[in-house]
């Protein structure tokens, strides 16, 4: 798996990176279009990327892939069977639909991302031999938040993914993982596409419900 598949810009690309690339790309495409089969693809790509990142000493992202594999199973269950209760309504919880965070929820996301970045950056700089602890910690902390928001179908997950993917392009370019860096460039575009599509669907849902302002819980 760590044998060279081809050489890109003078850097060897392994079969491991190629396979992880293909699975991850399929996963995000399915997520954009709300196809639940993206979650098992996420499990496969996460396992492969954990192996790849550990070999490149990108430990934050390697550990993140273990988290991704576990939460992908949870996300798959959420998309198939998850429910959400609407605040102020006596109706039973409804199947998950796309919703948006309010202003307080968005502020909470930013604070958690900043706190996670600082905590993880300190941890990686002190306890590992990583040469990119802070650059590694930024997308790692954001990815945890984005994954949870995606599993619960919050449209705001795509804003977080845009920031995560931009940071990841810088990280993997620096580590000479150019195929993976290219993947995250594509992910930036897909995150924007996901944001546009999910916001349109959210507007359609609101129109169909008569513009109800009830907030989900």
Buried b (16+ CB within 10 A) or exposed e, 81-105: ebeeebeeeeeeeeebebbebeeee
| pLDDT block averages, 10 residues each, the chain of length 217 | 63 80 90 92 91 79 83 92 74 85 96 96 87 90 93 96 95 84 91 95 83 46
pTM exceeds 0.85? no
Cβ atoms of 214 and 89 closer than 8 Å: yes
SS3 44: helix
């Amino acid at each position: 798996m760590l044998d060279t598949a081809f050489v890109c810009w003078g850097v060897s690309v392994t079969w491991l990176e190629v396979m992880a690339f293909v699975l991850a790309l399929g996963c995000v495409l399915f997520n954009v279009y709300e196809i639940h089969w993206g979650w098992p693809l996420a499990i496969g790509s996460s396992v492969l990327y954990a192996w790849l990142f550990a070999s490149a000493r990108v430990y934050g992202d390697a550990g993140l892939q273990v988290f991704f594999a576990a939460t992908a199973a949870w996300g798959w269950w959420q998309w198939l069977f998850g429910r959400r209760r609407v605040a102020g309504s006596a109706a039973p919880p409804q199947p998950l639909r796309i919703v948006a965070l309010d202003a307080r929820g968005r502020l909470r996301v930013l604070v958690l991302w900043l706190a996670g970045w600082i905590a993880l950056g300190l941890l990686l700089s002190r306890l590992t031999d990583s040469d990119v602890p802070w650059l590694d910690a930024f997308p790692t902390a954001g990815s945890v938040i984005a994954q949870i928001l995606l599993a619960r179908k919050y449209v705001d997950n795509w804003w977080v993914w845009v920031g995560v993917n931009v940071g990841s392009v810088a990280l993997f370019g620096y580590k000479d993982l150019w195929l993976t860096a290219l993947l995250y460039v594509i992910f930036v575009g897909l995150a924007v596409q996901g944001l546009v599509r999910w916001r349109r669907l959210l507007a359609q849902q609101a129109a169909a419900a008569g513009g109800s302002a009830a907030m989900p819980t």
